[in-house]
């Protein structure tokens, strides 16, 4: 099935460093979302973006919805050990048609933070 192109696949960083990851698609999405998944758990929503060009922050996390509606990025500032996990981007086509809000996910970025 279709998946978004997410990069990098993995990152190994030192505590305190900033992190950046991005996601691209060949299709337009009306909503971009970023999720975090920890071992044995389901994805948890971090940030939702609803408008092209929108820049949204949630604590140390900042995400942007690309102008073309085909890409998004997530930045994490001053990383801490509890940031460890797998980060997924997801696109949603939104109302109308037969999408019903289903999510299309990227392959994930595995983040490891060394103390």
Partner 1 sequence: GAGVSQSPRYKVAKRGQDVALRCDPISGHVSLFWYQQALGQGPEFLTYFQNEAQLDKSGLPSDRFFAERPEGSVSTLKIQRTQQEDSAVYLCASSPFPGLGRDTQYFGPGTRLTVL
Verify binding: residue 101, partner 1, rule CB under 8 A. yes
Please tell me whether the peptide bond between 61 and the residue prior to it is cis, using omega within 30 degrees of 0.
no
Q: What are phi and psi of 61, to 5 degrees?
A: -100, 135
* Choices 14-22, 62-70, 75-83, 89-97 (CB under 8 A): range interacting with partner 1: 89-97
Nearer to partner 1, 85 or 108 (CB): 108
**8 A C-beta contact, residue 29 and residue 90:** no
Site for partner 1 in 43-72 (CB under 8 A): 43-45, 48, 50
Instruction: Answer left, alpha or beta for residue 55, where phi above 0 means left and psi between -120 and 50 means alpha.
Output: beta
Interface ranges with partner 1 (CB under 8 A): 1, 3-4, 6, 30-31, 40-45, 48, 50, 88, 90, 92-95, 98-108
């Amino acid at each position: 099935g279709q998946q978004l192109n997410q990069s990098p696949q993995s990152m190994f960083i030192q505590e305190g460093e900033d992190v950046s990851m991005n996601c691209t698609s060949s299709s337009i999405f009306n909503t971009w979302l970023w999720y975090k998944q920890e071992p044995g758990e389901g994805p948890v929503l971090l940030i939702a973006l609803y408008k092209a060009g929108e820049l949204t922050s949630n604590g140390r996390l900042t995400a942007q919805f690309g102008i073309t509606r085909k890409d998004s990025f997530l930045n994490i500032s001053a990383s801490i050990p509890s940031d460890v996990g797998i980060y997924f981007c997801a696109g949603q086509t939104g109302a109308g048609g037969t999408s019903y809000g289903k999510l299309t996910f990227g392959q994930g970025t595995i983040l490891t933070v060394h103390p």
